Structures are given as structure tokens and as C-alpha cells.
Amino acid sequence: MSATSGSAEQVARQARAAFEASSHLLSSPSSSASADSVRSSALLSIRTALESNRARIAEANALDMEAATALVAAGKLSSALASRLDLFSKPGKWESLLAGVSDVAALPSPLDHVQWAKRLAEATEAKGAIDLYRVTCPIGVLLCIFEARPEVVVNIASLAIKSGNAAILKGGKESKHTAAVLSSIIAAALEEAGLPSGLIQTVETREDIQSLLHLDEYIDLVIPRGSNELVKAIQRDARMPVMGHADGLCIGYVHEDAELDATVGTVVDSKTDYPAACNALETLLIHDSLVSTPFWSTLAKALLDAGVELRCDPATLSALASSLTSGGKVVPAVDADYSTEFLDLILAVRSVPSLDAALSHITTHSSGHTDVLFTSPNSPNPTAAKFTRSINSANVFVNVSSRFADGFRFGLGTEVGISTGKTHARGPVGLDGLVIYKYIAKSQPHTNNGPQTAAEFNGERKWAHTSLQPNYPSF
């Protein structure tokens, strides 16, 4: 279902209705099929539908590729971006899109987990005990905004369905034909599986997004993935919570007791494994005492050999031999370099006199995504203890590449994105970032089922507040 069939508000209202309908639909207790098995088999039907509609998807994808090729020829689109549109040429890409759907289906359900249970009050002669359960449940309607890569439609739709949410998707305009076809195949498969087709919808225009960002009556959470500008604009305009990250300014700090080999290999990996990623290293701080030793020149040489341009403060610049600096890849840093997410083979370098100075630089300049300490691996290590307690970024690593900040690598199954927010979910966000909890309270059966009133606790009835086994409440 696409927004061409109606206004953005209609899409939002349909999404809300589909969410509520599916919650009601899947809430009837039944021994034959749990809500999760209905959702998982809907995902498998979606996989089958995608497989059997491969030709139709390829046709839409060819349309998008054709338009993109023309834009590349006109210099209006990068060829890198155009090639990310292509679902079929790169070996394994289509297969991994399909595998993603069944992988999500096979994950444990994030719903109906009892996070804790508590007896609020013991039974009395006149009435039963009162018990409270904190149970995970879906968030509701998600609005997911991303750029280019059409496979994200399938990825996010799978996560939303598995977690019991509805999703409105908006991809990049370059992938609009592919996204529309994928979404309509998913909607049809949902309907065939007995779930509301409105659970997954797409919208196509920026105007739609502008309208949707004000509809907090229908939409519970916005998840943007894309450029800084896109995310910042959404954070400014949205009336509902936004989960995502604008910047990935990741900082490493090499303490005086760092080990050379481990540090060199890990720093080079952090910077060069995928420089365009949000978890690539952008600034490296080095303890003063290492700057005039072979440590820094060895590290600098390894980075230069890997093709990295170094933007250095005076101390780290002057410490390098002319054989290293003469290639033109070592330049003086300006202040702005320490606030720049290069997303390229460029690294800002600065010397600091102490751990405290490094903490202070990180606190001021880091975007709170991923910060890494390089230090001795041996215990006790008060530097590492202080660094990991003191820095409150989403990911705080010790002697580990910043590139590990990733949902797959964290073993979360798959991710909807990486959040640098301070609430709800942070770092790589998997299925459990798409749920929230509700409190269920019940009066336990009793010979005399008297009323359960709050007023009597002003008098003689006492609070118990004792822990219970976290079992799902039975009725």
C-alpha cells in the first residue's frame, strides 16, 4: 500500500488501525498458535512471496537503476550510491535479503517477557492478593526513514512485524519503484497470512514525511537512518520521540601504557576497515609521553601506509621525521578537524598530557557513539576502570576496534540502526529496542473476592512489595 492511495494522514491512521487490529487479533489465547508463531509464519510467507515475485521486483529495480544511471551520467548522483540500489548484480545480495527475513522469523520473540513480578499486597480474609507484572509489549507505529538501499524496506518490515509493531517506511527517492513493489508484496503476503496489510506501508515524498512528523496521535517513534542533515531536520520537526544518530564522531585515546602492536593494528582497523561507516575512528588522542618515542612514528607510518591522511596538532606533527611528512599526507590540524566526522581516510590527531585531558576532550567533542581506550591489557588497570566508568557514550571500548559497534557483531541478530540518544535504546538497536513494557496487575482468586481498593491502604491493609517468580500472569 503506498501513499498515492491517500494522504499521509490516511496512511498514519491505517497504520494505527492495523497495529490495534493485530494486537486484538493476536491476543486470544489459543493452544494451536501463539501470537509469535503467527508473526513468524507471516514472515516466512513474505519470504516466499518475495522469491516468487523476483521478476516483478527486478523489473522495478531496473527502472530505478536506469534513472540512477542517467543521474550519474549527468553528474547528479554518485556511482557509489547508484550501485547500492542494485539488488541483483552483486552475488549473494538478493539471497541475503531473503535470508534476512527468515533469520528474523527465527529469532526469539521480544514480546511478552515478564521483566519482573511483585506481590503488591497479601491476601486478607476478605480478598485475594494483588500481583503486578512488568511485561514487554510493542511500541505501536514506527516511522522509518532511510536513504537509498531498497533492501532496508524488507529488513525493517521484518523487524517491525516480529516485534508486533506497524511501520510506515520512506526510502530514498532513487529507490522508489523497488521500495513500492517490495512493500506491496509484503502487504499482500501479510493479508494472506491473516494479518492487516496496513502493518507495512510506504510513503514517497518529503511532504508526506513533514505531515507524518506532526501526527503524534498515530505515530509513536521515528527511526531515521541517513545523513546528518536528514536526521537533524527530523529531530527538529518531529513531535514524537526520534531514535537514531546524526553524528558518529568516534574518538580513540592511546594511553602511555598502550602496547604497540595491538594498538597499531586496532587503530588502523578502526580507521580503515570501512571509513564511510558511522563507527569509523575520526580523532586519535595520544598521550604526550608517546609522541617523541618510536610508538607514535610507527603508528603514524602504519596509518599512512594504509592511505590515511593525518591532520596533526603541532606536537604530533613536529615529532614525525620528514620521510613521513614529505608525502603531503601529514598536514597541520585546524580546530574544526576535531569536530569533523570525515567519513573518509582522514584522521585528526592530538596529543594530550593526561587521561583527564583525554576524558575532557572526549566529553566535549565525541558524539556519544563509540569511544575507544588503548591501554595495557593487564590487571589491575585503573586507567581502563576510570575510562569506562567516566565516559557515557553508547559504546565504550578498551583495546577493541570501534568497528565492533554493530548489531550483528554484538550478536543482536540484526539492527534497526545505531542510536546516540540517551533514552530508550542506545548503540546498536535490535529487536528489543522496538518494544516497551506495560504493567499488568491482577487480583488473585480467593474464597471471598472482595473489592481491591486503594483507600484501605490508608488504614489497616499493608503493602507487601515482595518479589515473585517472573512468570506470565495466568488468567
Instruction: Kindly state whether residue 437 participates in binding a second copy, applying the rule CB under 8 A.
Output: yes
User: How many positions of this chain bind a second copy (CB under 8 A)?
Assistant: 104
Q: What is the CA 302 to chain-centroid distance, rounded?
A: 32
- Residues 18-37 binding a second copy (CB under 8 A) are 20, 23-24, 26-29, 35
Instruction: Kindly state whether residue 137 participates in binding a second copy, applying the rule CB under 8 A.
Output: yes
- Residues 247-276 binding a second copy (CB under 8 A) are 259, 261-266, 268-269, 273
Instruction: Kindly state whether residue 139 participates in binding a second copy, applying the rule CB under 8 A.
Output: yes
Where does this chain touch a second copy (CB under 8 A) — which range of 43-51, 71-79, 187-195, 374-382?
374-382
| Interface residue with a second copy, options 160, 303, 394, 429 (CB under 8 A) | 394
Name the minimum Å distance from CB 27 to a second copy: 4
Instruction: Provide the CB-side half-sphere exposure for 210 (13 A, CA).
Output: 3
Instruction: Kindly state whether residue 378 participates in binding a second copy, applying the rule CB under 8 A.
Output: yes
Rg (CA), the chain: 26
Instruction: Kindly state whether residue 236 participates in binding a second copy, applying the rule CB under 8 A.
Output: yes
How open is the CA angle 102-108-110, to the nearest 5 degrees?
Answer: 115
Name the minimum Å distance from CB 374 to a second copy: 10
Exposure string over 110-148, b if 16+ CB within 10 A, otherwise e: bbebbeebbbbbebeeebbbbbbbebbbbbbbbbbbbbb
Name the minimum Å distance from CB 439 to a second copy: 5
The grid coordinates listed for 328 are 603531503
Instruction: Kindly state whether residue 344 participates in binding a second copy, applying the rule CB under 8 A.
Output: no
What secondary structure letter does DSSP report for 2?
Answer: B
| Interface residue with a second copy, options 48, 102, 235, 298 (CB under 8 A) | 235
CB nearer a second copy, residue 56 or residue 119: 119
Name the minimum Å distance from CB 246 to a second copy: 10
Distance CA 223, CA 231 (A): 9
| Interface residue with a second copy, options 75, 92, 451, 459 (CB under 8 A) | 451
Instruction: Kindly state whether residue 327 participates in binding a second copy, applying the rule CB under 8 A.
Output: no
Taking CA atoms, 373 is separated from 63, 250, 377, 394, in Å, by 47, 11, 11, 14
Taking CA atoms, 88 is separated from 61, 196, 278, 461, in Å, by 9, 30, 26, 68
Q: How many CB atoms lie within 10 A of CB 165?
A: 24
Name the minimum Å distance from CB 51 to a second copy: 27
Instruction: Kindly state whether residue 227 participates in binding a second copy, applying the rule CB under 8 A.
Output: no
CB nearer a second copy, residue 106 or residue 385: 385
- Bridge partners (DSSP) of residue 258 are none
Residues 6+ apart with CB under 8 A from 13: 218
Residues 6+ apart with CB under 8 A from 464: 119, 120, 121, 122, 129
Instruction: Kindly state whether residue 215 participates in binding a second copy, applying the rule CB under 8 A.
Output: no
Instruction: Kindly state whether residue 298 participates in binding a second copy, applying the rule CB under 8 A.
Output: no
CB nearer a second copy, residue 156 or residue 391: 391
- Residues 31-90 binding a second copy (CB under 8 A) are 35
